[in-house]
A and B are shown apart, each in its own frame.
Chain A
Amino acid sequence: MAIDPKLLEDLENRRQKAREAGGLDKLAKRKEKGMLAARERLETLFDPGTFQEFGMHAQHGCSAFGMETKQLPYDGVVCGTGFVEGRAVAAYSQDFTVSGGSLGRIHARKICQLMDYAHDVGIPVVAVNDSGGARIQEGVDSLSGYGKVFFKNVFLSGVVPQIAIIAGPCAGGAAYSPALMDFLIMTEKNANMFICGPGVIKAATGENAELAQFASAAAHATVSGNIHLVASDDTHAMALASRLLSYLPANNVADPPHDLDQPINTTPDLGMNELVPDNPKAPLDVQLVIDRLVDPDSFMEIMPDFAKNLVVGFARICGVVVGIVANQPAVRAGTLDIDSSDKGARFIRTCNIFNIPIVNLVDTPGFMPGLAQERGGIIRHGAKMLFAYAAATVPKITLIMRKAYGGAYLAMCSADLGADLVLAWPTAEIAVMGAEGATRILFGKEIEASEDPAALTAQLIEQYRDEFASPYQAAARAMITDVITPAGSRTRIALALRATLSKRDTRPPKKHGNIPL
């Protein structure tokens, strides 16, 4: 009394049909362009043999404009779960070979069901976007579908990690689903993301704009700041998503995947001393500091091509997953400005959501002066950094390397903003402003009246620097936990990270704080 073989054959035929996607000819064309099929993308992301499909047999329910005779396999989106490096992940992949990957009612419903599942079981979502947009034949059902997906994106925000991969067109309203997620990865070629295309821009404003200028991965990575990482191709995009997931917990009530079996290395790193220039004006490349501080090859920089004056990214320090927020003195003097504040604040909040301790490396002369900055709302944008740090309840460890002036000192997570531990190198200059400016304000009249103003100025600057621009003024006021050597930094931070993993910080109940946006 075995199962009727015809039933098995029928099922296999249906599965085969689905594997053919929108047609073998279309799949072949994509292959020529170096693009993976929608299904292959998920199979590349997941560990071999772990992909379990959701909704392979779904069909559109549209009967207008001749759609009633059309078959759209799985309604143009491959959904399911699988394992990434042994950890469960939900993912969907829009299939451009099926009706241009257009989003209809059932297509959207499948995405929403998958996101509900991810929410209920507490696993990350990876979304591969490759769609021509709304399915026009389905009219407002399609529009409503987008709305439902956006709602789910927001519902899941702060609960499970959401990673969007832009691997094809992602235009109009469709661009807002990735924008609502935690990370956006975009392929260098074959992908575009925009609200209004060149045709619409031309018709509406007369402006000539090419896709490469505003919709490409390069444009979004360097100018708009809309995306986090650029991938060279589909396979690379999946590898980036996989690496990103290796730092993230499955959900907001889980710990990130720390490797606490790793011993803490207490050997001083003398090379770190060598990195610190003797001239306070000589730029210190903070990338080199990060490389020495974190476990070898463990640093994954986020938004590496946007607002380079602030470096952010994930790493491990003696096995503990951390988020690094570091001023980069080699770019724009390491100042905080509008773009770097936006970048930093978003990253800090991402770490906080996912219980990732934050390590701050400070060397900033202040907020960037300038008309464009002030008019652009640096007050509003810079406030995001203050808000994000003060609101973050994860362990916060601050290392003041050199300059920490004025408001930017606070905006890089001083003790007052809730740092659990503030360490400083002997080269740290913590002051309300730089020595030159302070000397001019404090001793302007004396300098003017002196016989040799230049000599007196130099002397007073030196005096000010000795007295105020050192870590010891702040240390004397117990604003610094300890002054440490660069060589000892790695050990001190590693020990502090282990010690603060048990941190708990509860705030008054509220809907949410009102971060300036």
Chain B
Amino acid sequence: MKHLRITVDGKSYDVQVELLGEESTAVQPLIGTPVRAASVAAPAAAPAPTAPVATPSGDGGALLSPLSAVVVSVEVAVGQTVTAGQPVLTLEAMKMNTVVSATQAGTVKSIAVKAGDAVDEGQELLVIA
């Protein structure tokens, strides 16, 4: 037995309600109605393409980092002449060293990183011209 007070147009009625049985009420099925996903912002910068056509290591002799890594050592110095295929820099990522080699013969014009630096995929490492 429940005592309830109901107010209609400012006039109150005291009523007693007796529950005669726990009858099941209709349940709105939730299955089949997926929750709409909230939108997630796109990353600020688009990921660099892994292999640009015809210029696998950037334009104008710039060597780009093939993956996010830490620079272990730089094997060359500015002004040094290098041959195509010569290892110029060693990176480490995923417990593995990745050797970056010169894609063309020339002179090292500039070196943008030093041992210990963290580099992102696509970041310029050094320029050979």
Contacts and interface: CB of A to CB of B under 8 A. Distances in A.
Interface of A: 212-213, 216, 218-219, 222-223, 280-283, 305-307, 329-335, 339, 365-366, 368-372, 375-376, 403, 434, 436
A222 B51 contact: yes
Interface residues of B, number: 21
A485 B68 CA distance: 34
Given A331-B66, A332-B66, A370-B68, A223 B53 contact: yes
A333 B43 contact: no
Contacts of B54: 212, 218
A219 B121 CA distance: 20
A281 B53 contact: no
Q: B-side binding surface: helix, strand, loop or mixed? A: loop
Nearest to A212: B53
Interface in B69-101: 92-99
A376 B48 CA distance: 13
B50 A281 contact: no
Given A333-B67, A375-B43, A223 B95 contact: no
B34 interface: no
B10 interface: no
Given A212-B53, A223-B51, A281 B43 contact: no
B97 A371 contact: no
A431 to B, nearest CB: 11
A331 B50 CA distance: 11
Contacts of B99: 283, 330
A219 B53 contact: yes
Given A332-B67, A334-B94, 11 more contacts: A212-B54, A216-B53, A218-B53, A281-B96, A281-B97, A307-B50, A330-B98, A332-B66, A366-B94, A372-B43, A434-B95
A213 B53 contact: yes
A281 B47 contact: no
Consensus secondary structure, chain A interface: loop
B91 to A, nearest CB: 9
B44 to A, nearest CB: 10
B49 interface: yes
A366 B94 CA distance: 8
Contacts of B60: none
A403 B66 contact: no
Contacts of A333: 67, 93-96, 98
A281 B68 CA distance: 16
B97 A282 contact: yes
A335 B68 CA distance: 12
